[in-house]
Structure 1
Amino acid sequence: MTLPNQFWDFYSYRVVWSSEDEEFVATCAEFPSLSWLAEDASEALQGIRQLVADCVIDLQQTGEPVPDPIAQRQYSGKFQVRIPPSLHQQLVLQATEENISLNRLVTLKLASNPPISLP
């Protein structure tokens, strides 16, 4: 794959304060094994961006696949979720009572809840 200049600009970066490290930690969702620590948030972002750029260049040079940026991937808007039958029943009942489809109910629930942080 031929990548445009600064392809790594399109990746998903995040910078958060780490009380454990007492520094800002920057990460890139497409490269979960990479992180960069710095005393300043902008330095952390600059550091992870440079690290990702170096990784992308290395992957290209060795012929390994380069991850597509999440923002540039195509999404169908569909995915399957396995839930316990009792929860399925509760959701169907609630959707019926509200006179909406199960899909609409689940979409509303997903959109209205705050993000869940996984450990």
Structure 2
Amino acid sequence: MTLNEYMELPYRMEIVPDKEEGGYAVMFPELPGCMTCGETLESAVSNAEDAKKEWLMAALEEGQEIPGPDGLNDYSGQFKLRIPKSLHRQLSEHSKQEGISMNQYCLYLLSRNDAIHSQA
């Protein structure tokens, strides 16, 4: 596979707020050691894509085996969700404050809460 083909694979991105220093830590669990951070959600996600690309480039250059995404073939990555109009407005406003799309903001919220739930 080429670098671009690997970049298109749906690797799981985990975003965790750094409560001690501020900002956000981001990692890709299927790519060992592939992690980064950012001061804002937008910068964290952008840095994560750069880190994933660098990790994949290094693995390809070294002839290292690159794991595929964990069992995601059964999932499209999309689902419909009906929410109250008031919640829709709040999510839209918060995403604008962060300077990211509402989709990215909701992904962050879901990832953060899933990580908290997984630790319990």
Contact 2:3–2:57 (Cα < 8 Å) also in 1 = no
Tell me the TM-score normalised to structure 1 length.
Answer: 0.54
Pick the structure with greater CA Rg: 1
Q: Name the residue aligned to 1:25.
A: 25
Provide the secondary structure at the position in 2 that maps to 1:59.
Answer: helix
Structure 2: distance between partners of 1:13 and 1:71: 14
Q: What one-letter code is carried by the residue in structure 2 that aligns with 1:55?
A: W
Structure 1: distance between partners of 2:3 and 2:46: 19
Contact 1:27–1:34 (Cα < 8 Å) also in 2 = yes
Tell me the TM-score normalised to structure 2 length.
Answer: 0.53
Q: Name the residue aligned to 1:5.
A: 4
Structure 2: distance between partners of 1:53 and 1:64: 14
Describe the superposition over 1:72-99 as per-residue Cα deviations: whole angstroms up to 9, x where unpaired.
Answer: 457xxxxxxxxxxxxxxxxxxxxxxxxx
RCO (CA 8 Å, sep 6+): is it higher in 1 or 2? 2
Structure 2: distance between partners of 1:31 and 1:116: 22
Q: What one-letter code is carried by the residue in structure 2 that aligns with 1:5?
A: N
Q: Name the residue aligned to 2:39.
A: 39
Contact 1:23–1:38 (Cα < 8 Å) also in 2 = yes
Percent of pairs with identical residues: 15
Structure 2: distance between partners of 1:18 and 1:36: 12
Describe the superposition over 1:31-84 as per-residue Cα deviations: whole angstroms up to 9, x where unpaired.
Answer: 24232121111111111211111111111111110110125457xxxxxxxxxx
- Listed as ranges, the gaps of 5+ residues in structure 2 are 75-113
- Listed as ranges, the gaps of 5+ residues in structure 1 are 75-113
Q: Name the residue aligned to 1:65.
A: 65
| Higher relative strand content | 1
Provide the secondary structure at the position in 1 that maps to 2:4.
Answer: coil
Provide the secondary structure at the position in 1 that maps to 2:119.
Answer: coil
Cα separation, partners in 2 of 1:8 and 1:16, compared to 1, 3 Å? same
Structure 1: distance between partners of 2:3 and 2:58: 15
Contact 2:13–2:28 (Cα < 8 Å) also in 1 = yes
Q: What one-letter code is carried by the residue in structure 2 that aligns with 1:3?
A: T
Give the number of equivalent residue pairs: 79
